[in-house]
Amino acid sequence: MKQLFTVILLLTVLTAEARAQDGTFSAALDRTTVGAGEQFAVSFTVSGSDMNSVKNLRPPSFGSFVVMSGPNQSTNMQIINGQMSGSVAFTYYLYARQAGKYNIGAASVDYKGATLRSQPLQIEVVQGKLKAQAIEAAAPPQGVAENLFIRATADKQRVKQGEPVTVTYRLYTRLNVSGYDIAKAPVYQGFWAEEVEQPKQPTVTAETFEGKQFRVATIRKTALFPTQSGRLAISPLEVRCAYQAPSQRKSNDPFDSFFNDPLFARTQTEEFKSNSLAVTVDPLPGNPPAGFSGAVGRFTFNATVDKNEVKTGDPITLRLTIAGTGNVKLLTPPKPSLPADFEAYEPKVSEEITREGGVIRGKKVAEYLVIPRNAGARVIEPVVFSFFDLDRNAYTQLRSARFDFTILPGKDMSAGASVASKSDVRLLGEDIRYLKLSLGDIVQIDASPFSNIWFALFMVLPPLAFLAAFGYRKRREKLFGRVDVLRAAKAGREAAKRLKLAKKLLSQGNTESYHAEISKALMEYLGDKLRIQKSELTIDDAATQLEQRSVPAETLQLLRSCIERAEFARFAPASDTQQARAELLDSAAGIIDSVEKNYSGKR
């Protein structure tokens, strides 16, 4: 009887406490001091009796920070003595960029027709990462960790440089998982990563692991192409899971078993970290043939022209097509050897890539527009594409056909010009003109014509224009002769085009392609500006070379941050806001502008 009275008293107290807390809205930080370059969490929690009445969360401006993820919603509900109480928490994960003291303003939310506001918060960002004070995500409870975890596997443990390896992340659970999101994406240092599309609702299967039966769902799959040899590490994937955890009360009191009923299960959110992986990458064997640019896989190659007989000044389109499976994005189409009097423009390169079944396949097309300037017979020799064939374990060269052209004289080659007819002599009424009675203006005929300023200008300007045109042509020939110099000269303009395309994708709501285009614009800009091949380009090497060329350290820090944000948001598209996406575009444009202004060609 005494125990029953105790339970009733406890229920009464809890009910009174829940009612007293009805309609409260609070804010909290997971820590008040963080290091620049670190992440932290801010939570806004609504407590009350009716969680269905919580609507329209309006977070404060996080202008000083980058929103990496959020709002991540978790709910905790309780039913005690017929009365419902609970809380809803909205958590944002922010990235601190620069040191300083900052204020995080008040958030607001609608609850039962009224507007609730949280208190403002203060946080200090110090220079450098807080190694000693760094707060790691709390490890899940022992019982939970055994029944809910993330497992990473690779389909190959040893590959050749450029050979794809597929990493799969699976969620194993024996608990009821109500939702999950990516807390931190893995770092693929030394790899080019291609995310394999996964269904929004993953298929759940049953699997026995270490003698226990689990429900298993594939939550992420990535195809990795190693760009360097050696033993390469893959950092863990961190996933935030919301799961149902029943109350655990152990005693001899029969009333306590009432609380272990699944009806009273509460929702908890924990971060789970997968195991790390390592892949051994062997360098490609032997000596690569001339023209090999790092293509590894199984490919076909074809070259075509749209016409074989043209007039001088008319364009010819030479199309090179590479198709197959492998590192298609990293492919560099071969450069054709053109006749000396063919004027060629930069190729238009397009690609189509599919990622079905964990296999990256597609095609890359390069279209060259060439214009013959002189009449006669001309030849484009066969174009050769070299790649490493994984099936044959050897280098393979594919050759196109030889193209013969007949170039006819165009309109600009037409000969001669009509001779103007002589004008008739008009008589003034008689066969002899009237005598001129007045002298008119008198000009000294022995004066030098060079005394006239306009005559002098007309004499000097044509040679100067000829010299300028000659110098411009020589520079163009030098640039076209050295593709790397041309790429460096046009790096800023090409990056601006990609950022313009990214802005268009953002306005269309295509966030995944938008983030991919931002990342591609920055990486290709660095490769062109520093004359580094894509397969050899890393952020660390690029930052080192930019630092040696007088680019400010602040710009380099923003560059790293911008690329990391773009890659993270690309793999977790729901992790940022529209404001953060717009800021990312502005940041990328500012970085390129800063590099262009401060870049020094000499080390």
- 254-264 pLDDT, tens digit each: 444 444 444 44
- Report pLDDT digits (tens) over 76-109: 655 444 455 667 778 887 888 788 888 888 999 8
Beta strand residue intervals within 373-411, DSSP E: 376-380, 384-389, 394-399, 403-408
Task: Report how far residue 482's alpha carbon sits from residue 488's, in angstroms, rounded to the nearest whole number.
Answer: 10
Instruction: Tell me: pLDDT of 135 over 80.
Output: no
Q: Give mean pLDDT, residues 278-293.
A: 89
498: Cα within 13 Å, side-chain hemisphere: 22
Alpha helices, DSSP H only, in 74-156? 142-145
Q: Which two tokens stand for residue 570?
A: 């690309």
Instruction: Tell me: pLDDT of 382 over 90.
Output: yes
| Together in a domain, 251 and 325 | no
Give the pLDDT of residue 259.
Answer: 43
- Residue 468 is assigned to a structural domain of this protein: no
- What backbone phi and psi angles, to 5 degrees, belong to 544? -65, -45
Element (H, E) at 476: helix 453-481
| Together in a domain, 155 and 268 | yes
| Together in a domain, 367 and 395 | yes
Amino acid (1-letter code) at residue 424? D
- Residue 439 is assigned to a structural domain of this protein: no
| Together in a domain, 340 and 269 | no
Element (H, E) at 486: helix 483-489
Q: Give mean pLDDT, residues 524-532.
A: 83
| Together in a domain, 163 and 128 | no
Task: Report how far residue 487's alpha carbon sits from residue 531's, in angstroms, rounded to the nearest whole number.
Answer: 7
- Report pLDDT digits (tens) over 408-461: 998 654 433 333 333 333 444 445 554 555 555 665 655 555 556 777 777 778
Range with the lowest mean pLDDT among 327-336, 463-472, 534-543?
534-543
Give the pLDDT of residue 140.
Answer: 60
Model-wide pTM > 0.85 = no
Element (H, E) at 503: helix 491-507
- Report pLDDT digits (tens) over 142-152: 568 888 999 99
Q: Give mean pLDDT, residues 305-318.
A: 92
Pairing of strands 296-305, 384-389: parallel
114, 135, 156 — which closes off a domain?
A: 135
Instruction: Tell me: pLDDT of 194 over 70.
Output: yes
Q: Which two tokens stand for residue 287?
A: 């000596």
Of residues 489 and 42, more confidently modeled: 42
Instruction: Tell me: pLDDT of 303 over 80.
Output: yes
- Report pLDDT digits (tens) over 326-357: 888 888 899 999 998 898 888 999 988 887 76
241, 263, 283 — which closes off a domain?
A: 283
| Together in a domain, 104 and 155 | no
Amino acid (1-letter code) at residue 492? G
- Report pLDDT digits (tens) over 32-49: 888 887 888 888 888 877
The conformational region for residue 56 under phi > 0 = left, psi -120 to 50 = alpha, else beta, is: left
Q: Which two tokens stand for residue 324?
A: 């197959």
Task: Report how far residue 390's alpha carbon sits from residue 367's, in angstroms, rounded to the nearest whole number.
Answer: 27
Instruction: Tell me: pLDDT of 375 over 60.
Output: yes
Give the pLDDT of residue 479.
Answer: 57
**Average pLDDT across the chain, whole number:** 78
Q: What is the 3-state secondary structure (H, E, C) of 280-303?
A: EEECCCCCCCCCCCCCEEEEEEEE
- Residue 424 is assigned to a structural domain of this protein: no
Instruction: Tell me: pLDDT of 525 over 80.
Output: yes
135, 164, 181 — which closes off a domain?
A: 135
Place 154 in a pLDDT band, splitting at 50, 70 and 90.
Answer: very high
CATH at residue 102:
2.60.40.10
- Residue 331 is assigned to a structural domain of this protein: yes
- Residue 428 is assigned to a structural domain of this protein: no
- Residue 238 is assigned to a structural domain of this protein: yes
Element (H, E) at 593: helix 578-598
Pairing of strands 191-195, 212-226: antiparallel
Confirm if 401 and 433 have CB atoms less than 8 A apart: no
| Together in a domain, 279 and 146 | yes
Strand partners, 28: 43
Place 319 in a pLDDT band, splitting at 50, 70 and 90.
Answer: very high
Confirm if 444 and 452 have CB atoms less than 8 A apart: no
Note the Cα 117 to chain centre separation in Å.
37
Range with the lowest mean pLDDT among 164-178, 191-205, 559-573?
559-573
Instruction: Tell me: pLDDT of 478 over 80.
Output: no
- Report pLDDT digits (tens) over 17-32: 444 346 788 888 877 8
Pairing of strands 394-399, 384-389: antiparallel
CATH at residue 221:
2.60.40
Q: Which two tokens stand for residue 116?
A: 């609730």
Give the pLDDT of residue 572.
Answer: 57
| Together in a domain, 193 and 112 | no
Angle of CA points 509, 510, 515, to nearest 5°: 115
Q: Which two tokens stand for residue 537?
A: 């380009």
- Residue 305 is assigned to a structural domain of this protein: yes
In the sheet with 24-29, reading across from the earlier edge strand, the strands are: 24-29, 39-48, 83-96, 65-80
Give the pLDDT of residue 486.
Answer: 67
Give the pLDDT of residue 400.
Answer: 93
Instruction: Give the number of other CB atoms < 10 A from CB of residue 297.
Output: 22
CATH at residue 329:
2.60.40.740
Which of 347, 289, 294, 293 lies closest to 320 in space, CA to CA? 347
Strand partners, 204: 217
- Residue 454 is assigned to a structural domain of this protein: no
Give the pLDDT of residue 260.
Answer: 45
Q: Which two tokens stand for residue 499?
A: 């950022």
Buried-state track 390-404, b at ≥16 Cβ within 10 A, e below 16: beeeebbebebeebe
Element (H, E) at 242: strand 238-245
| Together in a domain, 69 and 13 | yes
| Together in a domain, 264 and 142 | yes
- Report pLDDT digits (tens) over 6-18: 444 444 444 434 4
Amino acid (1-letter code) at residue 429? G
Q: Give the chain's domain count.
A: 4
| Together in a domain, 590 and 574 | yes
**Residue 123: domain span:** 1-135
What radius of gyration, in Å, describes the C-alpha atoms of the chain? 36
Task: Report how far residue 517's alpha carbon sits from residue 524's, in angstroms, rounded to the nearest whole number.
Answer: 10
Pairing of strands 165-173, 296-305: unpaired
Could you please report the per-residue DSSP string of 251-262? SS-GGGGGGGSG
Pairing of strands 212-226, 204-209: antiparallel
Instruction: Tell me: pLDDT of 323 over 80.
Output: yes
| Together in a domain, 261 and 208 | yes
**Cis before 71 (ω within 30):** yes
